[in-house]
């Protein structure tokens, strides 16, 4: 705890002062352009990863970057997304998974979270991911299987996003874009799902979508 308190003092002295004008403007209201949905894992920091300033990202985090489909639950995810899309008018939504995801490991091996009933229940919202992996990636194991699971889960959650009324409405208007990313912790690389080729590709090769189209499954598990 002392480390965090010292960090606050350092923030106030070194970080806040140069951005004082920005924070004064932010006190009047927020206008983020991007909703960033990612895992609660302590190893991923959306603002550090994107070098975003305060006010740039509206962030939603939970175990496994999961978005329950419309009508599947009463959690805060749907409310947060609705506020970002309908009230704040974000233009882009990023669903970002990451390597070595403990939630996806638990999805693959339910016995590892058997003593965590709340976690087990939450992971049921990723059941489609588990089934897709079971039916299509039986030839993989270890890290390659986990990578495939992380990637497929990002695609499943993008599909779930499309079921939310506020998102569906904005997609129909053509002024909202969805993006699927995977962050590789050990290298700092980010891979984005490219609709044109149906694969996760290095972010530098990613082509910004001109319009939304149905998700097409990737066919390999290598990134």
Catalytic residues: 39, 41, 43, 98, 101
- Sheet strands (E) in 15-107: 34-39, 57-62, 92-98
Could you tell me how far CA 220 lies from the centroid of its own chain?
21
Residues 6+ apart with CB under 8 A from 122: 62, 63, 64, 66
Q: Are strands 92-98 and 177-184 parallel, antiparallel or unpaired?
A: parallel
| Stretch (H or E) spanning 201 | strand 199-202
The SS3 of residue 73 is coil
Closest Cα to residue 121, out of 164, 79, 62, 81? 62
Tokens, residue 183? 């962050």
Q: Where does residue 3 rank: exposed (0-12), middle (13-18), buried (19+ CB within 10 A)?
A: exposed
The SS3 of residue 177 is strand
Could you tell me how far CA 35 lies from the centroid of its own chain?
9
């Amino acid at each position: 705890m002392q480390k965090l308190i010292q960090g606050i003092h350092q923030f106030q002295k070194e970080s806040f002062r140069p951005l004082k004008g920005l924070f004064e403007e932010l006190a009047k209201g927020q206008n983020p352009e991007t909703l960033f949905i990612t895992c609660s894992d302590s190893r991923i920091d959306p603002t550090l990863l994107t070098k975003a300033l305060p006010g740039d990202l509206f962030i939603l985090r939970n175990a496994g970057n999961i978005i329950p489909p419309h009508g599947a639950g009463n959690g805060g995810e749907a409310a947060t997304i609705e506020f970002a899309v309908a009230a704040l008018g974000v233009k882009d939504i990023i669903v970002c998974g990451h390597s070595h995801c403990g939630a996806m490991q638990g999805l693959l091996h339910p016995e590892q979270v058997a003593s965590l009933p709340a976690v087990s229940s939450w992971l049921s919202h990723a059941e489609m991911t588990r089934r897709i992996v079971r039916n299509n990636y039986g030839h993989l194991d270890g890290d390659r299987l986990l990578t495939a699971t992380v990637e497929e889960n990002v695609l499943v959650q993008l599909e779930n996003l499309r079921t939310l009324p506020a998102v569906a409405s904005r997609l129909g208007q053509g002024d909202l874009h969805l993006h699927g990313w995977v962050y590789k912790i050990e290298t700092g690389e980010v891979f984005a799902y490219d609709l044109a080729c149906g694969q996760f590709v290095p972010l530098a090769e990613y082509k910004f979508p001109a319009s939304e189209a149905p998700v097409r499954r990737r066919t390999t598990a290598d990134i």
